[in-house]
Structure 1
Amino acid sequence: MGDGPGWHTEAWYVVYQILGWFAFTVWSISFYPQVILNYRRKSVVGLNFDFVVLNFTKHTSYLIYNAALYFSPVVQKQYHEKYGYDELIPVAPSDVAFSSHAVLLTTVLLVQLFLFEKGGQQVSSTCIGISIVVWGSAFVLLLLAFPTGNWLWLVSAFNIIQLIMTCIKYAPQAYFNYRRKSTVGWSITNIVLDLSGGTANLLQMFVQSIDQHSFENFSGNVGKVGLSVFTIAFDIFFTVQHFYLYAIPSVVSPEDYLQVGDYYVVPALDPELALNDQEEEDASAQKTPPP
């Protein structure tokens, strides 16, 4: 857990670790359904490219924050000087493990965008502009922090960046689903796991607050709070889109969808259903007298 005081109650510490590693596990697994779905379909049609790019920026920023605060004695010292020496470092080993894994898997998704059928999709100029502004700002902040050695301020800025990315990264996919009136190509398994991880992550912070009799860990790690809250909110919205707004017949598998146009998709007919329909058309044609 880094330098600083220990936990007041061993039981709360155990619960904290369980919740943290549970969040790490389900969040880490949540990346794979989308990767597997893309591979099985040999297509990324339905997966919004802006979401993938913004998600990569988000997780990279989060990794920088987590790794610096967890491993750097200098950053930890500056944290205690600001928030108090009685406060625990608000980054758990599971946070570092998750963000490292997230960067790796998001990189895999980026590679898939180049390898598989795109259906006319591309990264928008708005997304490119946002990425340039974000990384340009990060470079400027590095130049400002270097002379003063205020590294906590710098890594906290990366935490704010990941929070901003969390707020906006889901919007392109949500709007994309709305335009297509479909969630095909967007893994709902990913969303269910993501929702579970966000809930566990938020509960983990409450456990720490209960043990320490303080809510300073919330103000000291607003990025983790924002990550959980916005993840939960958007995952609920995506769940509504998938199961209610744009629900599809359960007999139709997402792998049976065909591309139409640039990125619209419709269900391919089940062979048996198609055969029955053809037989009905043939019977109807036989009953109809020629003109």
Structure 2
Amino acid sequence: MAASFLHFISVSFGWIYFFCWSFSFYPQPILNFRRSSTTGTTIDFPAINVLGFIAYFVSNAAFLYSPQIRTQYALRHHGLAPTVQFNDLAFAAHAVGISIIIFSQFWAELWGFEKRGRRDPGARISKAILGIVVGSLVGVGTVVFIVVLRQDEDAKTGWAWIDVIYAISYVKLIITFVKYMPQVLTNYRNHSTQGWSIVQILLDFAGGLLSILQLGIDSYLQGDWSGITGNPVKLMLGNVSMFFDIIFIVQHYCLYNGNQRKVHNEEDPLLDGATREERIE
């Protein structure tokens, strides 16, 4: 009875987190559309998100539907099945699509937005983010090369295709660690969170918390906490997201509360005519 109830709670938390995290993507592109501008936001965030969520989708799909990967996972985790759920895959698929849309908004001509100056902070992809993209691709390619070259028969202790899937999932983990920093620094330089939607952050925090709770419940139901360590990306995705969400919340409500300082861009006087509601956002 208790197990059935916990399973129900796990499923409920999973789909609630799916909707919280999925809805968290919409306030920013809607705000950009209302303002006809991406000023105050950085292209680094959606750009790196596209790669990160593609990696997250591929790894979740493999753990859910690949017999070979599931068998190799069981060999390494006491015969258990991966703690990846369908709602994880659904979230990743949705995130890929909406991240591509947000990324496209930085092409002003495509959306009819006012153009940003080339020197405007966040208007161009930074070298650091490009380095992470290249490094991630090289890292995954290296693991694939090792697996193909060694062809170890013992998937439990040797190199196996599950290591490739883990490498792909670690791409998402690394990106989660770094993707928020450009926006944190942009807010700091502007002494304002103007142009950066706080609604998405509140939803993101709720989604991260529920995601971790679902992972904990699923591992408890398996009677083995290796279900958590076997799904490090979901664990860290929730924790790291909440950590940066707290930073954004402090910036918005404490450090820069009520600060309507304009984003520094002499070529973009857009905010002069903004409504009070838009300025607060």
Quote the Cα distance in structure 2 between the aligned partners of 1:181 and 1:114: 26
Residues 91-100 or 48-57, more deviating: 48-57
Secondary structure at 1:139 match in 2: helix
Partner of 1:122: 124
Partner of 1:144: 146
Partner of 1:72: 66
Return the match for 1:56 from 17, 32, 50.
Answer: 50
Change (3 A) 1:230 1:269: closer
Return the match for 1:90 from 64, 83, 92.
Answer: 83
Partner of 1:101: 94
Quote the Cα distance in structure 2 between the aligned partners of 1:8 and 1:158: 36
Taking only aligned residues, the RMSD between alpha carbons, in angstroms, comes to 2.5
Partner of 1:286: none
Q: Deviations over 1:234-265 (max 9, x none)?
A: 0011011011111127xx8x9xx776436898
Return the match for 1:43 from 17, 37, 45.
Answer: 37
Q: Which has the larger radius of gyration?
A: 1
Please say if residues 259 and 265 of structure 1, whose CA atoms lie closer than 8 Å, have aligned partners that are also in contact.
no
Secondary structure at 1:9 match in 2: helix
Residues 259-268 or 173-182, more deviating: 259-268
Partner of 2:155: none
Change (3 A) 1:8 1:141: farther
Gaps of 5+ in 1: 1-6, 272-291
Please say if residues 176 and 241 of structure 2, whose CA atoms lie closer than 8 Å, have aligned partners that are also in contact.
yes
Partner of 1:111: 104
Partner of 2:266: 261
Quote the Cα distance in structure 1 between the aligned partners of 2:89 and 2:274: 45
What is the Cα deviation at residue 136 of structure 1? 2.3
What is the Cα deviation at residue 210 of structure 1? 2.4
What is the Cα deviation at residue 231 of structure 1? 0.6
Return the match for 2:229 from 212, 215, 219.
Answer: 219
Gaps of 5+ in 2: 153-159, 277-281
Please say if residues 143 and 163 of structure 2, whose CA atoms lie closer than 8 Å, have aligned partners that are also in contact.
no
Quote the Cα distance in structure 2 between the aligned partners of 1:270 and 1:74: 56
Partner of 1:284: none
Please say if residues 215 and 228 of structure 2, whose CA atoms lie closer than 8 Å, have aligned partners that are also in contact.
yes
Q: Deviations over 1:155-192 (max 9, x none)?
A: 01112111111111111110110001111111111000
Give the TM-score normalised by structure 2: 0.85
Quote the Cα distance in structure 2 between the aligned partners of 1:62 and 1:270: 38
Change (3 A) 1:163 1:154: same
What is the Cα deviation at residue 30 of structure 1? 0.7
Quote the Cα distance in structure 2 between the aligned partners of 1:205 and 1:130: 28
Please say if residues 8 and 211 of structure 1, whose CA atoms lie closer than 8 Å, have aligned partners that are also in contact.
no
Partner of 1:23: 17
Give the TM-score normalised by structure 1: 0.82
Please say if residues 39 and 263 of structure 2, whose CA atoms lie closer than 8 Å, have aligned partners that are also in contact.
no
Q: Which residue type is aligned with residue 25 of structure 1? A: F
Quote the Cα distance in structure 1 between the aligned partners of 2:75 and 2:2: 21
Change (3 A) 1:17 1:259: same
Change (3 A) 1:76 1:206: same
Partner of 2:200: 190
Q: Deviations over 1:23-81 (max 9, x none)?
A: 11111111111111111111111111112222222211111110111111110010001
Partner of 1:205: 215
Partner of 1:11: 5
Secondary structure at 1:113 match in 2: coil
Quote the Cα distance in structure 1 between the aligned partners of 2:196 and 2:48: 16
Q: Which residue type is aligned with residue 135 of structure 2? A: V
Quote the Cα distance in structure 2 between the aligned partners of 1:68 and 1:128: 26
User: How many residues are treated as equivalent by the alignment?
Assistant: 259
Secondary structure at 2:40 match in 1: coil
Large movers: runs of 4+ above 3 Å: 257-260, 262-271
Q: Deviations over 1:81-116 (max 9, x none)?
A: 11121x232100000000010011100011111133
